[in-house]
Amino acid sequence: MIVGIDAGGTLIKVAYTENESLQFIKFPIAEMDRVASWVNEQSDSKVCVTGGKAGVLLSLLNQEAREIVEFEATHLGVKFLLARMERQEESYLVTNVGTGTSIHCIENDRQERIGGTGVGGGTLLGLSHLLTGVTDYEEIVRMASAGSRDRIDLKVKHIYEGKEPPISGELTASNFGNNLFAVAGELSKEELLATVIGLVGETVSTVSVHAAKQCGCSTIIYIGSSFFHNPLLKEVVTSYTLLRGATPLFLENGEFSGAVGAMSLL
């Protein structure tokens, strides 16, 4: 068996081949012992690990394993998953919305990390919990899909009252910037969660579009588990990326890019 593991700040992503077919599984970082035991039970396996917690995982393995730098693994994995989707892209930006967000420019088959933001999936979980008490990721994204941001976000058109704004009135002028003091007590969890996802989505797409301009590419490939089962985040990121003149692309199983890239080295 060939196994690639990306042990990140929040989740461990595992990609492996079984009977020639590619399998994917995720575990919370708290279950690292379980992942290590599973790997240790496999006979005749080749293993390559990556991610910020790769060192900790390696220390729990009984067998030799390779290690690869996370950014290289992600680059290789994105190439593999793009080919699997029969896409021809050669130069593009990769925005990995993990616990934090990391942005990479891919050109001439080489990746360069050009920036990032601390606003990412960890922000989504943390702010959601502080504002609503909800802790479960799946519950957060499900409730957010039923919420509206209208009472919490301030749009450009709200500021330019009775006047044509110089930029799209639909852009957010201020996340959480509407007249909150009047309605704070009556806001629903759904509204608050939708607005948190709006903040994360608009921040990562705005930073990405600037980065794409800087490196002269128009396609932005978004990956990371923050998009998993999260249609609202995808929608916010898609519309903001398009509105700002770039083309978004979501990879199937994109959150496994690092794991697949690590596996592809074996």
Applying CB under 6 A, the residues found at the interface with ligand ATP are 8-11, 28, 51-52, 98-100, 121-122, 124-125, 137, 224-226, 228, 255
122 binds, among Mg ion, ligand ATP, none (CB under 5 to 8 A by kind): ligand ATP
**Of 105 and 125, which CB lies nearer to ligand ATP in the complex structure?**
125
**Of 10 and 219, which CB lies nearer to ligand ATP in the complex structure?**
10
**Of 9 and 165, which CB lies nearer to ligand ATP in the complex structure?**
9
Residues of 93-103 as b/e, b for ≥16 C-beta within 10 angstroms? bbbbbbbbbbb
Looking at beta carbons, which residue is closest to ligand ATP? 8
Of the listed 70, 191, 202, 255, which one is catalytic? Answer: 70
User: CA angle at residue 11 from 6 to 16, to 5 degrees?
Assistant: 40
Look up residue 100 and give its DSSP letter. Answer: S
Q: Segment contacting Mg ion (CB under 5 A): 4-12, 36-44, 104-112, 190-198?
A: 4-12
Structure token pair of residue 49 = 């690990």
Question: Up-side HSE of residue 64: CA atoms within 13 Å toward CB?
Answer: 2
Q: What's the gap between Cα 108 and its chain centre? A: 24
124 binds, among ligand ATP, Mg ion, none (CB under 5 to 8 A by kind): ligand ATP
- Enumerate residues 58-117 that contact Mg ion by CB under 5 A: 98
Secondary structure element (H or E) that encloses residue 226, with its range: none
Least separation in angstroms between residue 97's CB and Mg ion is 9
70 is catalytic: yes
Structure token pair of residue 141 = 């994204």
Burial class (CB in 10 A: 0-12, 13-18, 19+), 213: middle
203 binds, among ligand ATP, Mg ion, none (CB under 5 to 8 A by kind): none
50 binds, among Mg ion, ligand ATP, none (CB under 5 to 8 A by kind): none
3-state secondary structure 236-257: HHHHHHHHCCCEEEECCCHHHH
Is residue 198 close enough to count as binding Mg ion by CB under 5 A?
no
Q: Segment contacting Mg ion (CB under 5 A): 8-16, 76-84, 180-188, 240-248?
A: 8-16
121 binds, among ligand ATP, Mg ion, none (CB under 5 to 8 A by kind): ligand ATP
How far apart (Å, rounded) are the C-alpha atoms in residues 133 and 181?
A: 20
**Of 11 and 105, which CB lies nearer to ligand ATP in the complex structure?**
11
Least separation in angstroms between residue 258's CB and ligand ATP is 7
Instruction: Give the DSSP letter string of 158-197.
Output: HHSTTS--SS-TTSEEETT-SSHHHHGGG--HHHHHHHHH
Residues at the contact surface with Mg ion, assessed by CB under 5 A:
8, 98
Catalytic positions are 70
